[in-house]
Structures are given as structure tokens and as C-alpha cells.
Amino acid sequence: MDASFLDLLMAQQEEVAEAEGGGGIWVVADVVDGAIAPVTLEAIGAARNLAGALGAYVYAVLLGDGVSDLAATLYQAGADGVRVADHPALASFAVEPYLEVLVNLFQAEGPEVILFGATPQGQELAPRVAQRLGGGLIEHATAMTLDEATRTVQAAVPIYGGEYFEIVASPQARPQVLTIEPGAFPVPFMDPYRKGEPKSIEVTPVEPRVRVLGPAEGFTPPSVPLAQAPVIVAAGRQAGDFGLVERLAAALGGRVAGDRGARDAGWIGPEQIIDIRGVTVAPKVYVAVGIRGDTFHNAAIENARFILAIHPDPTVPIFRVADLCVEADPKEILPALLHALGA
Amino acid sequence: MRIIVILGRVLDPRGIVVNPRAGRIFVNREEYILQPADRCALEAALRIKEAVGAEVVVLPRTFLPDDDILRQALAVGADRAIYIMGKPVALPDDGLMARVLLAAIERLGGADLILTGATTLDTGQGQLGPRLAEALGWPQIVGAWTAEVADGSVRAVRQDGGNYVWVESPLPAVVTFAPGALKLRYPDGRRLINIYKGAGEIADALERWEAKDLVAPEALTPMLERRGQDFPPERERGVRLSGSLEEVARAAADALRARLPR
């Protein structure tokens, strides 16, 4: 049997047929730079897991201008049906035109669960859809299970950015609307043999009420104090080349700081010293470059969510508190790290 | 012109310690602060009031056990605050509060602008503003950095991808603010003392309404139900990366990328 015949056979087997009777799990797709956003694929994968337990079909909704070809990706990710609203009025995201399409569709289809990505688009649309349809909304779901007795989705939502999670459900309200945290669910296997015929949605153009006037020339957001910075790259006496540290901070969108050694070297000001006698920090990411990690410094970073330490000496105390340790000379590893980060 | 600002409070995260191994949250210092994004909304309202003249009315985003944050808002310059009394719920429930706040806004006689935070510090919820906008049939600007009112419309700076853009919406509208967008001013000392002592004109600016007088009892049923807690896996420290320089750099870059805030 030659491979092309096998391909044909598998392709025929995987032609997806849609169910009648409404309900189902619906995923509203995010399109970024002409491609389906990863969070949408993750949401379809999560929806497939729920669908198995729920005994429901997974549908995806695609909105935009010239987006019809992207429906194939949604089928490959696991959608059983795809609805496409392809219209010039939907070329760029605006609340009212998108909402009109979605509400009309969901009022006709009666979905049981609706998933959005926790993206700017999803965060604007999901509450309005939930409010219009009388549904409950759980935001930033990072895990989902099903209470099969009541067909209720239970989701874990991060508290204080992930310090712990509350398990939440909206058992009374239907539909159950959720936004999915990007990166929290795995991207599903993309089955190239999975295909289907998307259905078009008729679009009645609606004028958006919020107008974009143009770039905010000269506007700079207020600077965040070092103590509240989400990303910090700190240098120590062994950092070697402080220019590389600054480049790493720029590549990560972080702030530059250091320990007392960096201050002695003249690289940073006194207000940038991370130390319990200086600034105590709690960033999401803390990179310590050439910092030994004395008691005062390590106490000041104990609330950091993730610490990457780079130091040539394997016995330094910073390696006892860091999550990830790189035993290397910063002068050698930083150029390679910048390269790996695409900076 | 009437501006309604919706404010919430949050347990100061500096006072809590989460122990994943014990599966417990230890509250070492129980101190509540204004939700950071809501603080920005309050400051924006006060700036608009100074620029074009307006009455600033403050409403709570959850049922609160006390009226402290509303007093703080009056101290910095809000004209009126309504403390809505209801049964506190285990989790902030914006679906439930949207019903209550809609009724409260109606009783107030409507508004021209509703300002609140785009997200909460603890649960990360951002649905209250858009829910109110939908229920009122108003446009919304989500995640504003600054806002001004002129000629019957509100203009705001909003992030669009990596850039900042000016957007404009006709009034009435809902605008939610990004945390850190604006720094809330310090309270006026005399107002602060009078509010807490219950003296002077400003003491009468704090009103108390019952939620059950605003909506039917069935509307006070929470939409969200708390079903438990989960904790992240315990942190493994001191993991050493090994391999060639390029391999180590690639592994470190992947780890950083996965943890960078989105």
C-alpha cells in the first residue's frame, strides 16, 4: 500500500461532522498578526479534554477580515465545527462589532461553555458576553476539571499572581464563560488529517463607539519603583561587563539593580542596591549576575518568584536560594544568553 | 456631571505567607489596602473634577465589612460615598455586584462616567467595568493610563500591543484603569480627621444603603462558588544547569521566557 493512499484513507476518516442541537463548548479565537494565537489552540486542547467528560462537541469561532483560511488550523487543533465571520468591518478588534456577531451566534446556538483567551480582546469581550447572556465568568483559568453530576466546569484561578489558586465554579449560571491564561494549558497535537467545512456567519456591520485617534506621542507610563518591578536584573562584583547586564535587562524588559559590590564598582546608584538595608524586592523574575549572595542580599529577594543566578564560583550562597544556577563566567555566558533570547 | 468611582480593598500581600507544603496561607498582618488599579481610577476622577467640574460618587466593588476605604476616598476629595451593606461572599463576585451596582446607579439618578480598576491585585478579575458597560449599553475603554473629558466625550491613553494610543468615546462611558497608571494624592488632613470623627459637612457625605433594598433577594445569589484551594508545587531550589555554553544559555533563556510577565 503506498503512503498517498494511506493519507487519503486517513483524511477521509478524520472528516469532522457536526452535531445538531446546540450546546457544546465554544472557543472564541484570537488572531494575532494573521495567525491563530497559541492561547486559542491551548483553549481548544483544554476544551477537548472537557468535551470527552461532558459528552459535548467543541466549536471554534473565528472573526476578522480574510481569516477564512485559518479555520483549517482550528480543525487540526481539535475543533469539531468552526464558524467564520469574515468581513472587512471585523478587520481590527473593536468591542461592538465583535460582540454583535458573538451574541447573535451564542443566542442561536445555546452554548454550555464558552472559552476566551485571557488576552486584551478576550478580557474585553468575555464579561460583556457573560453579562448579555446571563452567564458566570471565571477569569484567568489555569486548570479545569468537570463536576460531572452538575455539568459544571471547576477552574483554578491564580491569586496574587499565582501564590496559590482558588478553585471556582459558576454552577447556577449558564453559559459558563471562562478566560484561559496563556501558556497554562498545553498546545494540543495538531492533526494534519483532521479537516472540516467551516460555516460562514452573516455579518451586519456595527459601528464601534470607541475611536482610536492615533499614537500617544510623548506619553510615557509612570516608572514603577524598583521594589515593585516585575523583572530585575542585578549585577554583583563578578558581573564583569556591566554593559551586558544592561542589555540583558533591556531584553527582558526589566530594571537594572545590584548589590553593594556593584555600587562599589560605580555601576549603580544607592537607590538601586538590593539589600534589606536598601531595597527589598518581590519580582516575578530576578536574575543575579555575578552576585555572591550575602545574607542581607538574599533576605531582600526571598519573595522573588523565580531566581536565576549566574556566578563562576559553585560554592557561593546565592546558589542555595536560586531556582536555577548557572556556574559560568558572566562575561562568557551573557552574550550566549542574549543570543538565545534573540536580543 | 456625575462620575461614579467603584473601589475595592485587598489584603496587603506583604502581610501574608503562603506555605505550599502545609497547604495553608498564614496571615501575619491583616491589613487591607485600596485595590491599586481602583486607586488610579479615583485619582483620574479627581483630576477630571478639577478640570471640568463634576460630582465624584464612590461605590464599593464588594460587600465590605467596614466603610474604611470609602472614608479614605472622601478624605482625598470624593464628594459622596455609598456604603452598600450586604452579606459578604467568600470570593469577589462581579456578576452579583454588577446587579447591585446597577440598581445603586439607578437610585443615584445615573452617571456620565463610571471609573474603576481594570484588574484586582488578588484575583486578577477585570469583569466589573465591562459588565456594567454592557448592562448600561455604554461603550468601554479598558486599561486606560490617563483620561480627560471634553466636549461630551472621554479621551484616554490605552496600550495597543506594545504602543500607547489615544482613544475617544462618547459619554456616558465606562473607563477602567491599569494598575500604576496614576498616583493617588495624599488626603487632606482636616477632611480626614472630620470623616473619622464624624464632624463637619463631609461627615454627612457617607451614606449607608442596604443591598436588599436595591435588588430582589434572588438577585443576591452569588454567581461564583468557591470549591477549594490549590497550591503550586513546592519550589525546588539550587537546580544547576549543565552542558555546553550554548545549551546552558538556551535552557536559561527558555526558563526566563516561560516566567516573564505577559
Cα Rg of chain A, angstroms: 25
State the ipTM, two decimals: 0.91
Give dist(CA B163, CA A212) in Å, integer. 12
Minimal CA separation from A287 to chain B, in Å: 9
Please give, rounded to a whole number of angstroms, the shortest distance from the CA of A267 to a CA of chain B: 24
With a cut of 80, say whether residue A135 has pLDDT above it: yes
User: Please, what is the average pLDDT of chain B?
Assistant: 92
Mean pLDDT, residues B163-169? 95
Q: Which among A169, A174, A285, A161 is positioned nearest to A234, based on CA atoms?
A: A285
Range 6-35 of B in CB contact (< 8 A) with A: 13, 16, 18, 20, 25
Which of A123, A137, A285 faces B260 most closely, judged by CB atoms?
A285
pLDDT-derived band at A19 (thresholds 50, 70, 90) equals low
Asked if pLDDT for residue B176 goes beyond 50, the answer is yes
Q: Residue A168 and residue B225: Cβ atoms within 8 Å?
A: yes
The pLDDT tens digits for A69-105 are 999 999 999 999 999 999 999 999 999 999 999 999 9
- Mean pLDDT of the A35-51 span: 95
Identity of the residue in A138, A160, A165 whose CB atom sits nearest the CB atom of B229: A165
Cross-chain Cβ contact A170/B160 below 8 Å: no
What integer best gives the mean pLDDT of chain A?
91
Distance from CA of B82 to the nearest CA of A (A): 24
Contacts of A143 in chain B (CB under 8 A): 230
**What is the separation of C-alpha A328 from the centre of its chain, rounded to a whole number of angstroms?**
32
What's the gap in Å between the CA of B99 and the closest CA on chain A? 10
How many interface pairs between A and B have CB atoms less than 8 angstroms apart? Answer: 225
What pLDDT score was predicted for residue A225?
A: 87
β-sheet bridge partners, residue B157? B146, B166
Q: How far apart are CA B223 and CA A85, in angstroms?
A: 31
Cβ atoms of residues B215 and B103 within 8 Å: yes
Q: Which amino acid is at B243?
A: G
Which residue, among A342, A343, A229, A332, has the nearest Cα to A287 in the 3D structure? A229
Is the pLDDT assigned to residue A21 strictly greater than 80?
no
Strand partners, A258: A235, A273
Chain B: residue whose CA lies nearest to A163 = B18
Of the candidates A95, A157, A323, which has its C-beta nearest B123's C-beta? A157
CB contact under 8 A, B255 and A306: yes
Query: Left, alpha or beta for B193 (phi > 0: left; psi -120 to 50: alpha)?
Result: alpha
Please tell me which residue of chain A has the smallest CA distance to B169. A210
**Gap between the Cα atoms of B10 and B71, Å rounded:** 16
Determine the residue type at A37. A
Q: Give the model confidence (pLDDT) of B182-194 as tens digits.
A: 999 999 898 899 9
Chain B 192-251, CB below 8 Å of chain A: which residues? 221, 223-232, 235-241, 245-246, 248-250
Judging contacts by C-beta atoms under 8 Å, the chain B residues touching residue A172 are 221, 223
Stronger pLDDT, A21 or A153, i.e. the higher one: A153
CB B168 within 8 A of CB B144: no
Mean pLDDT of B118-139: 95
Q: What is the mean pLDDT of residues A52-65?
A: 93
Q: From the CA of A254, how many Å to the nearest CA of chain B?
A: 10
Convert the pLDDT of each residue in B143-164 to its tens digit.
999 999 999 999 999 998 878 9
Q: Tell me if A213 and B155 make a contact (CB, 8 A cut-off).
A: yes
Cα A112 from chain centre: 24
**What residues of B are in contact with residue A162 (Cβ under 8 Å)?**
232
State which residue of chain B sits closest to A146, comparing Cα positions: B227
Identity of the amino acid at A187: V
Q: Among A49-53, B89-93, B203-207, which is the least confidently predicted range? A: B89-93
Residue A314: its chain B contacts at CB < 8 A?
A: 240
Pairing of strands B140-150, B173-177: parallel
Average pLDDT over residues A40-60: 94
Burial B196-226 (b: 16+ CB within 10 A, else e): eeeeeebeebbeebebeebbeeeebebbbbe
At A153, list the grid cell: 466546569
Residue in B91, B127, B255 closest to A127 by CB: B127
Q: Give B3 to chain A, closest Cα distance, Å.
A: 19
Q: Tell me which residue in B131, B135, B223 faces A173 most closely, judged by beta carbons.
A: B223
Contacts of A175 in chain B (CB under 8 A): none
B214 is written with which cell numbers? 436595591
Peptide bond into A208 cis (omega under 30): no
Instruction: Give the pLDDT confidence of A234-274 residue by residue, as tens digits.
Output: 999 999 899 999 999 999 999 999 999 999 999 999 999 99
Residues A68-104, buried b or exposed e (16+ Cβ, 10 A)?
Answer: eebbbbbbbbbbbbbbbbbbebbeebbbebbbbbbbe
Q: What is d(CA B130, CA B118) in angstroms, rounded to the nearest whole number?
A: 9
pLDDT tier at A1, thresholds 50, 70, 90 = very low
The DSSP letter of residue B74 is H
Is the CB of A210 less than 8 angstroms away from the CB of B155?
Answer: no
Give contacts of B250 with chain A, Cβ < 8 Å.
340
Decide if B223 and A324 are in contact by the 8 Å CB cutoff. Answer: no
A324-328, B75-79, B219-223: lowest mean pLDDT where? B219-223
The model's pTM is: 0.88
State percent of chain B over pLDDT 90. 73
